[in-house]
Structure 1
């Protein structure tokens, strides 16, 4: 099939480090591997940080013009898509193209990692949320990565709209290196951007948890940079001298090799969508310590490859860290299980098997919907 692939949250070809952008590229690669012809970057970025009606109107106007241009182009060259695939839309980045173009072309509309926010259904974001919900109703298929997203999408499950789990997966150019052997001083590592909001809050929680472990032997490597680095460095300032190694921004092709030089991956992950870095760390054989927050649980096997603790509980985070610092045999056992999990279960091949079946379901749902006169079942 010819597939139009749209990413309203972030531009597809934006080269900045981001799990969102990376997952988009992975999805395109898997679809192409299944034999489809995929055109990514089909529309503009429609992220809106604030809800002013004028901002939304400007985006809607630009999207309408883009839709007309695309339809004219496809009429001229006969290369209209057979299916529309939108990745990651929500109230701040609604899909202003997919549902309308799909309806005009009479093609299936598929969405991956969409989310709904009931608390935004009224107030300043109400119009944005209504647009998202129109798209949720129009979709023949929703691919969800986490159970949190599934719960939000359940009201849109219907005979003509399927919900299919697509667990987060990670692609490697070559087999990741294995973790080096355990050392007398356990080497902790974390990888995250240093920006305000939940990333900074996760760093601060990590720093506070580490203060509980001052009498234990450990070191921490931090790979990441950003505009909040001075404030984040200050949060770690009270820890014993020499414990923290600040590596700054590290090129993505060097991150995995860097992870392999450590014994344990720690990132609290407050409200993390899921976090591909958890899969990368497991792939080299590192056990994980994190909060059971957001979609983190979708990337690990709690109790087998990771220790997850209640969101925000820094004492529990410290206790989980301490238990693995004190038990090298358990670290090794969990690390081996982590590598098997990431490299055997969370692969592009596994994602391809799910996508192949799911797209067939989308085509069937679309045909059934059209036979029923295009009626949708919405909440």
Structure 2
């Protein structure tokens, strides 16, 4: 099929790296691997930090909608509209309208809906999300949390599941050579959940400062100085590696012993899959979408949300237990390479689309 791909929060062509951008790119690659022709149909970002900023975007949204209408009258039309990650701050104001006017199926992936946002000034945008979910031939969820949320809000919506995945090729090319006391983290340094996770990690490491460990941090961002301040007390134990490319990350992770990232508010976290593909067991919290990418007790340890002492204890336990650490690392690598690969996802995604395009709303 010819597929129009749209990511209202952040285009896959956006210059700033993030989990959203990576997943958008992975979905495009999966669709292409399945034999579909994909075009990024619009670079327009509907993301707004406040309801006031959202309202200010409306004239530009109307102009972009009209541009799309005109282009589809003179160009070969896609046969399906695929929207990645619509939610209250970044709804899709184009796909549902265009798909209805040109009689093609509409599909969402990683859509989410939170009724509580209706009372905080986001009702108009929430309405758009709801209309998109109900119009969709299928809504593809990556986590049980998102699926349950859509099911509760829209019991008649068409739902399907696709497990989070990565391209394992860079990780297949490396051979794990772990340093047993080397902890690894890959994360952007920005406000919000990321800083909350960094703060929790620093606090947990203080509780096990008497144990032998080092920490290598891969990532950068606007709050680099604040992150450095959190770890300032660990003289000589922190390695700052900055932003790295895909191949470099794979090689660096393969040198680690344990992947540590609390995952506060994490949608699911592709970095967890990358770490496991490199042969690292994970220590994270049992929170948000993390259980969708880490098999608790098999490929890593998941601790109760907000329990810093339990988190520190789990890190210490893996550092001290070589046999368990190695077994989990081997299981983690198998888990990703065999079950969460791009090729596996491409087959599953293709089946979902072909089934929904044949039977879904047009």
Establish whether TM, by shorter chain, passes 0.5. Answer: yes
Partner of 2:5: 5
Task: Work out whether residues 33 and 343 of structure 2, in 8 Å CA contact, stay in contact via their aligned partners in 1.
Answer: no
Unaligned runs of 5+ in 2: none
CA distance in 2, matches of 1:148, 1:105: 33
> Counterpart of 1:111 in 2: which secondary structure?
strand
* Matched position secondary structure for 2:124: helix
Q: Deviations over 1:135-185 (max 9, x none)?
A: 111111011011110111103343xx42111111001444241221454xx
SS state at 2:89 partner: coil
Deviation (angstroms), 1:41 = 4.3
**2:297 is matched with which residue?**
303
- Given the superposition, is the C-alpha separation of residues 131 and 63 from structure 1 closer, same or farther in structure 2, using an over 3 Å criterion? same
1:284: Cα distance to partner?
1.0
Q: Which residue in 1 is equivalent to 2:287? A: 293
Q: How far off its partner does 1:115 sit?
A: 0.3
Q: Which of 127, 133, 136 matches 1:136?
A: 133
The CA distance in 2 between the partners of 1:15 and 1:167, in whole Å, is 26
Q: Which ranges in structure 1 are unaligned for 5 or more consecutive residues? A: 371-379
1:8 aligned counterpart, secondary structure? coil
| Equivalent residue, structure 2, for 1:65 | 63
Residues 1:205 and 2:200 aligned together? yes
- The structure 2 residue matched to 1:118, chosen from 90, 115, 124, is 115
Correspondence 1:284 to 2:278: yes
**Aligned match of 2:348 in 349, 354, 366?**
354
TM-score by length of 1: 0.91
In structure 1, what is the equivalent of residue 44 of structure 2?
44
For the residue of structure 2 that corresponds to 1:121, the secondary structure is helix
Query: Residue 207 of structure 1: CA displacement?
Result: 0.6
Q: Hey, what does 1:258 align to over in structure 2?
A: 252
Matches within 5 A, 1:81-100: 81-100=78-97
Contact 2:168–2:336 (8 Å) recurs in 1? no
The two structures, once aligned, show a CA RMSD in angstroms of: 1.5
3-state SS of paired residue (1:250):
coil
Query: CA offsets, 1:50-77, max 9 Å, x none?
Result: 111xx43443332332222222222223
Q: How does 1:143-292 map to 2 (within 5 A)?
A: 143-154=140-151, 155-158=153-156, 161-174=157-170, 175-183=172-180, 186-239=181-234, 241-292=235-286
Whether the 8 Å contact between 2:168 and 2:337 is mirrored in structure 1 is no
The reply to whether residue 364 of structure 1 matches residue 361 of structure 2 is: no
User: Residue in 1 aligned with 2:327?
Assistant: 333
Alignment-derived partner of residue 101 in structure 1:
98
Q: Which has the larger radius of gyration?
A: 1
Which of residues 58, 69, 74 is equivalent to 2:72? 74
Q: For 2:266, what is the secondary structure of its paired residue?
A: coil
| TM-score (norm. length: structure 2) | 0.95
